[in-house]
Amino acid sequence: MSTTAYQYVDGEWIEGESDDEITVRDPADPDDPIAAFPGASQAQARAAVRAADTASASWAEAAPVEREEVLYEVADRIDAAQDSLAETLTREEGKPISSSRGEVARAAEIFRFFASQARTATGDTVPSNDPETFTYTVREPLGVVSLITPWNFPIATPSWKLATALATGNAVVLKPSSETPMIARRLVELLEAAGLPGGVVNLVVGAGSTVGDELTTHEAVDGVSFTGSTATGQHIAETVAERGLPVQTEMGGKNPLVVLPDADLDAAVDTAIAGAFGGCGQACTATSRLVVHEDVASEVTDAVVERAEGLSLGPGMDDPDMGPAVSAAENETNAEYVEVAKDEGATLLTGGGTPAGLEDGHFIEPTVFGDVDSEMRIAQEEVFGPVLGIIEVADFEEAMAVANDVDYGLSSGVFTSDMAAAREFTRRIEAGVVKVNGSTTGSQIQMPFGGMKASSSETTKEMGKRAYEFYTHEKVVYRSDP
């Protein structure tokens, strides 16, 4: 079992000082802990913010090319360590090793993409009404930004926050999920090895109740970017908004995939299976509602059930189709929603139980429910597990009504060969991400990412060529030369 220090403050690795014990377990074999250490104390979180505050001015003044070079070096180091990073990720999060390798490669791609922001995160030259006045805008870093990240994409999500914040000259304090601190530590080690000055990046691993306030209310914090549950995100948004600071929250989803009668049904079924059960359904963009036209509902349902029953399950290091849930608590929630759906009258078509031979891990079978009504909890609440509800609709209008009949608005998809219907879906869907003949999951780095309604704060998007806007102030300049 590891006894490595997990707190990184002002360029030094230190042991945590709180009474909170952080224990990391392999979700496929949770009886044998793979790491245990004390979490960060409130005083250490405060010290991390102070260290970032002290370092922020010099990093902001560093030439863009210096920041760019560090980020490119980080990307190269991620690539060089891909296999070992992927193994660390799978051991603590549980996803299949091939998926972990893909996520690690994506992290390197993210750092390369945002390295260029160091030179291009600029303002605009705007024509003035007065020919004697030069009008333009400039972008300047916020200063100190707290980054709070989840366990389900434990290297990709920190990477796109870190890379953007650092490219634009901010100093940061990163708080990863306590479920996946090992990959976060590895990432910070690579930043350190790439030559990032002490204090520019700080890492605190600890309970939110212990360190959270310092990362959101400390007077030196100038902005907060959060990805995680809706309840936590809304609390953080309210807390930070009271101080008048920029806050960015990416939260839950209840994402619909609509299948119309003219769709390529084989492609639609393949996409639904991947979107619902890839990563054990543990993605905010996972497909959780399959909204199917009645003319093809029987055919689609039969195919989905057959495909779900054919998926392989097992430890992530064996590279199955689906690994375990990340924790006992998450798996218990999955089981609870299975019972809720049954009690509400949905029909369990397949799954819902513990797969034979995998009782020791946090495993649940890929689960499909039919006869789901849009008012059921299984159709309204985010499960965050491999549970798919099939909702049958009579026509396109009912499909739109069902797709929008939730508090969330993160991702969505429609399968159809009718481009007029695709355009109408795109226009009317209440979601920040829209896929036509594609999965609700997945996004490209050069495209903005974010949702609507209870899924996201809509101030700015993550990723994409203007992701830097959240991490910078904009100054408007009127210059009249004497």
Residues that are catalytic: 284
For residues 31 and 66, give the distance between their C-alpha atoms in angstroms, rounded to a whole number: 46
State how far the Cα of 215 lies from the Cα of 204, in Å rounded to an integer: 10
Q: Which residues contact 107 (CB under 8 A, 6 or more apart)?
A: 78, 155, 156, 159, 187
Q: How far apart are CA 382 and CA 283, in angstroms?
A: 10
Contact 386, 366 (CB under 8 A): yes
Contacts made by residues 119-124, CB under 8 angstroms, sequence distance 24+? 119/64, 119/65, 119/68, 120/465, 121/167, 121/168, 121/468, 121/472, 123/474, 123/475
* Contact assessment for residue 97 and residue 105, using Cβ atoms and an 8 Å cutoff: no
76 neighbors 134 (Cβ within 8 angstroms):
no
Among residues 175, 156, 155, 179, the alpha carbon closest in space to that of 329 is found at: 179
What is the Cα–Cα distance from 58 to 102, expressed in whole angstroms? 35
**CB contact at 8 A, 325 and 27:** yes
CA-wise closest residue to 124 among 138, 105, 111, 107? 138
Q: Which has the closest alpha carbon to 259: 437, 425, 415, 418?
A: 415
